[in-house]
Amino acid sequence: MSERNYFGTDGIRGTVGSEPITPDFALRLGWAAGRALAPEGGARVVIGKDTRISGYMFESALEAGLAAAGLDVLLTGPLPTPAVALLTRSFHACAGIVISASHNPFEDNGFKFFGPDGLKLPDEVELRIEAELAKPLRTVAAERLGKATRINDAAGRYIEFCKGTIPNDVQLNGLHVVLDCAHGATYQVAPSVLRELGARVTLIGADPDGLNINLGCGSTHVDTLREAVRAGGADLGIALDGDGDRLIMVDADGNAVDGDQLLFVLACDRLERQALGGGVVGTVMSNLGLETALVERGVAFERAKVGDRYVLEMLHQHGWLLGGESSGHLICLDRTTTGDGTVAALQVLAASVRQQRTLGELVAGMTVFPQQMRNVRIEAGQRPLEHPSVAAAVAAAEAELGADGRVLLRPSGTEPVVRVMVEGRDGAQVQRLVESLTETVSVAL
């Protein structure tokens, strides 16, 4: 496979104003995508965005580039990433583009792509787009230029879709939920979904100003949500991230419930209803407690590389339906094609209602193993994981932990660091081993 210059594991992302997150690049990206996806023009592309102030700029640039390539554009305005995947399918568009940097601060932005099937683009299509980016931009003849229109009922379409992912006989009446929308793309749709299903919603993180997305709120900062749940006597809390594809929850006592625990809840609910459809896919970072709890219940568990893209790939390979990450990317392929925080939250709420058990009771069947991670900064060209001393230290730690623990050392895909992770049943042992391994990696540099 050719080397990528722009696309990472989840589209293209970076700091606004620094290459490639600039308006001129977005213009060329729109044109290149149009050329790669529909060389003859005449197709449609859906463009959505989160609430970052830079989204206006990039929306216009992408629109111009696609029009120059002869493609029409359907604009949704601020809308969650999974909603764009849905609308791409329902409008029979050749692609969907989301302008978002997910859980990152407002200074960042990026471009996520979906194909006509609502799935992330295959590698070969991303490489075709990169190949077109290397060519000079040439506008099609004036009579072939694309047009832009706005999908006026985009939010309503998505709200109805979300509501339809739980059965009609599951009522949320009487359930008090605190909802944190991270001042992001779900700030209008997620509250409507829950309220229309009967829940009483206390709303926080729903006043976007273009600069406050993910700022001290959302799935990466749940302290405010914890306090709101306890102060209001709510049944639970829901935290979404800036583009709405991640979910972290909080139980009535203010305890955070991460993606691994939510995946356990969803798996057990489907297992009880004989609707699991195979095994469950996590990642190399998924807590060992999740694997242990599922295997004890006879559920197969596989680990993919970090990234919801790789979870999705493994689900398709096995023909399974349920997977996710600790960070809260939860994929229910019996409901939608990609990670969707709102849809995943509804599945958890439906399980709670069906079983008449609180969120705290639902997660009690999984013991979370103590897990600690350290980052060791490295310079270009340094490969400490290849050093014999590191390999020996890892082997010794694994032998000490036995079947009750795991050791994982891996280079980060986003930072110049090596991540050192240890987990096991004994928290003191885990801390001692992670500190020892971190020192060994540092010395090996």
Token pair belonging to 409: 């050392």
| Rounded Cα gap, residues 7 and 22, in angstroms | 15
Q: What DSSP designation does 384 have?
A: G
Beta-carbon count within 10 A of 372 CB: 17
- Give yes or no for a contact between 310 and 9, defined as CB atoms under 8 angstroms apart: yes
Neighbours of 173 (CB within 10 A): 9
Cα three-residue angle 347-349-350, rounded to 5 degrees: 65
Give the other-Cβ count within 10 Å of 386's Cβ.
Answer: 9
Q: Contact 356/280 with Cβ under 8 angstroms?
A: no
Active site residue 90: no
Q: Which DSSP category does 385 fall into? A: G
For residues 302, 307, 309, 310, the Cα torsion angle rounded to the nearest 10 degrees is -30
Give CA–CA dist 406/398, Å, rounded: 7
Q: How many helices (H) and strands (E) does the chain have?
A: 14, 18
Length in residues, the chain:
445
Lookup: tokens for 309:
């893209």
Residue type, 354: R
List, in sequence order, every beta strand (DSSP E) within 272-428.
280-283, 301-304, 322-324, 330-332, 371-377, 405-411, 417-424
DSSP output for 221-245: --HHHHHHHHHHT-SEEEEE-TTS-
Catalytic residue among 100, 102, 219, 326: 102
Active site residues: 102
